[in-house]
Chain A
Amino acid sequence: MTTANTPSNTMSSSPSQPATIPAVGACPFADTVRTHVGKTVVGQQVVVERVMIALLTGGHLLLEGVPGIAKTLIVQSVAKAIDLKFSRVQFTIDLLPSDILGSEILDQKTSEFRIHRGPIFTNLLLADEINRASPKVQSALLEAMQERKVSIGDTSHVLPAPFLVIATQNPIEQSGTFELPEAQLDRFLLRHRFSYPSAEEETEVVRRSLKLKLKRQGDGAVPMSAFDAIEDGAKLHIRDLSEAMAAVQNVHVSEVFLRDCVELVHLTRKHPDIELGCSPRAALALVHASRARAFLHGREYTIPEDFFALAEDVILHRMRLSYEALAMGRKSTDVLTEMLRSLA
């Protein structure tokens, strides 16, 4: 089964990544989510696709981009489209692990400790500006991401299923931040870099904002925001997501595709400009994410296009250039492109 892709709406969120939108009807699940998100968010089709890939594979997503490009809006829209519980935590320097995980508090009525569950007990957690929290908080969140359970007091609590963390980072304000180390970055299935919307998209964003009215609260009123415009009526449910996840498991991955994935990961370990190559987790992420992408494009098997489309989001945050390469002005994307060209 193949898709006759006719890119009716190709909007690039990153200049190096194609934004192929599969034909309507190729994947009903993806169509529904896109339609729902598209009512609120203009463009950013690739980001929506990456969020869905993370959902379908049970991975986590790190979004990197300047403020004001609808990162939170996209995540919240996707959550509402699938009827997922959604929490948002703004990470700051004084945040404590218990602020995310929860804690035991003394119930004065019963004189007993009871568990106060933190915002992590949700399906979709948006960790906004994760690099602003202290390493202790980052570590607590990343452990929970890995193990999908948290310990509060003496009790271990399993997190809801599905559980997905979408963290954001602001790439320009590095003062007072704690950069995530490579070992923790490795736990994110994908790291996607936002770019500004195109002029047409931005015009449409402004045009839509003009249609927003006032939200009245008693006698007062505030202007509606884009968040207020998100439709509440979910079109999909967690059961649909589970079925889609099961369908992703059935997507076929050929031997030659596996070879390409492993070959690319091995190349990162041998490249002279790379100080730290990718872990085996990178090959796993590339294969699983490709399967999810193939499903979203209505295919029953992965193809090289999936591999090339996802390589940057899977590989770049898992490798570190050498000091010499950085001093010579080399960029990670250039090195990755070199490696991809040697494969393709």
Chain B
Amino acid sequence: MIGVYFISAILATTIVADDNATPRGITGSVTISHSGDPLQAKLDQDLSSPLLVRVTDLSGTDPTSEHRYRIDYIGAVAGSFDLRSMITHRDGTPATEIAPIPVKIVSELPEKFGSDLFIVSAKPLFARSYYRVILGLIAAAWIAIPIFVFVRRAIRNRPAPPAPPPPPAPTLADQLRPLVEGAMNQGLSVPDQARLELLLMAFWSERRNFSALQPAEAIEKLRNDPEASTLLLAVERWLHSRAGATPQPEKDLAQLLDPFRGHDPITLVEVAQ
């Protein structure tokens, strides 16, 4: 008797599925006809369950006639489900007498992205866990960076230790000394000999304001100048005489160079100008 009832009940249920492949999150619906006890959706469905089902009775109030139900469902997870498991009688008993109502929930995403709407595959944001620490670090940097800049600037601006005193600038005497020594020892090259005479004439011409004179007049006056002629005539002897002059002691050289101490060296470019 019971078997007949089940068979009749199975036969009495007609399933009309709109489309059994429904995308996730999209409402699908299946219409069934059932002549047994009224059906309802399983109570207390968990919102996190992979499938949510709602059953709507489309027929009238006559309890003897065959009922048509529309079963709306929303899948959260891709996969194949049987809606029958989500349908019960009004008394809460499972509606095992109805035929399985298979539906397929499909995902629009590629397979590797999964299909669970509620599972987050990415790692949780670091800041979500350590934001206090991060904020602390930012606050510390806010204070430390200006201090660092201030200290560094202060170090840089610190007055440098006093440099050692520069060596005394070479004087004209220093410039002339090797040339005069070379001339005394007959070891001066011809260009250096010319340079020595040039330096001497340039220096004394300027000192005596002979620059406006003709070179011939200037040199004649310099040769007769008691101060200028001292070295000038000596150099003449050393450079132009046949055997050169007898080398003189060092103290004589120092005396000869005395008038040139305290004067800046002369460049040959200045002389040419």
List residues of chain B with CB within 8 A of the CB of A6. Answer: 224
List residues of chain B with CB within 8 A of the CB of A256. Answer: 190, 193-194, 197, 239-240
Cβ of B19 < 8 Å from any Cβ of A?
no
Cβ of B95 < 8 Å from any Cβ of A?
no
With A and B bound together, what is the CA distance between A309 and B214 in angstroms? 10
Cβ of A304 < 8 Å from any Cβ of B?
yes
9-residue interface stretch from A15-23, A232-240, A273-281: A15-23
List residues of chain A with CB within 8 A of the CB of B240. Answer: 252, 254, 256-257, 301-303
Nearest B residue to A12 via CB reads: B217
**Shortest distance between the CB of A25 and any CB in chain B (Å):** 18
Interface residues on B, range: 20 to 34
Nearest A residue to B236 via CB reads: A303
- CB of B242 within 8 A of CB of A300, answer yes
List residues of chain A with CB within 8 A of the CB of B217. Answer: 16-18
List residues of chain B with CB within 8 A of the CB of A18. Answer: 216-217, 220-221
Report B236-259 CB contacts with A as 1/0, cut-off 8 Å: 110111100000000000000000
- CB of B190 within 8 A of CB of A2, answer no
Check A305/B223 contact, CB under 8 A, given A256-B239, A300-B241, A341-B215. Answer: yes
With A and B bound together, what is the CA distance between A344 and B237 in angstroms? 18
With A and B bound together, what is the CA distance between A20 and B218 in angstroms? 12
Cβ of B98 < 8 Å from any Cβ of A?
no
- CB of B215 within 8 A of CB of A301, answer no
Check A344/B241 contact, CB under 8 A, given A2-B233, A259-B194. Answer: no
With A and B bound together, what is the CA distance between A18 and B239 in angstroms? 23
Partner of B198 from A7, A254, A300, A344 at Cβ < 8 Å: A344
With A and B bound together, what is the CA distance between A252 and B245 in angstroms? 14
> Within residues 1 to 44 of chain A, which ones have a CB less than 8 A from any CB in chain B?
1-2, 5-7, 16-18, 20
- A contact residues, total (Cβ < 8 Å): 32
Cβ of B86 < 8 Å from any Cβ of A?
no
- CB of A344 within 8 A of CB of B215, answer yes
With A and B bound together, what is the CA distance between A1 and B242 in angstroms? 10
- CB of A304 within 8 A of CB of B219, answer yes
With A and B bound together, what is the CA distance between A342 and B273 in angstroms? 8
- CB of B241 within 8 A of CB of A301, answer yes
- CB of B220 within 8 A of CB of A309, answer yes
Cβ of B139 < 8 Å from any Cβ of A?
no
Check A305/B197 contact, CB under 8 A, given A7-B224, A16-B214, A254-B239. Answer: no
Cβ of B201 < 8 Å from any Cβ of A?
yes
Cβ of B272 < 8 Å from any Cβ of A?
yes
Nearest A residue to B214 via CB reads: A16
List residues of chain B with CB within 8 A of the CB of A257. Answer: 240
Partner of B216 from A2, A301, A312 at Cβ < 8 Å: A312
With A and B bound together, what is the CA distance between A16 and B214 in angstroms? 6
Cβ of A107 < 8 Å from any Cβ of B?
no
- CB of B219 within 8 A of CB of A305, answer yes
List residues of chain B with CB within 8 A of the CB of A5. Answer: 223-224
List residues of chain B with CB within 8 A of the CB of A1. Answer: 241
10 tightest A-B CB contacts, nearest first: A18-B220, A308-B216, A252-B242, A256-B193, A254-B240, A16-B214, A340-B215, A301-B240, A301-B241, A303-B236
9 pairs, CB–CB < 8 Å, chain A vs chain B: A2-B237, A18-B217, A18-B220, A18-B221, A20-B220, A252-B242, A301-B241, A305-B216, A308-B214
Q: Which B residues form the contact surface with A (CB < 8 A)?
A: 190-191, 193-194, 197-198, 201-202, 214-217, 219-221, 223-224, 233, 236-237, 239-242, 272
Given contacts A20-B220, A340-B216, 7 further A-B contacts (CB under 8 A): A254-B239, A305-B219, A309-B220, A311-B216, A344-B197, A344-B198, A344-B219
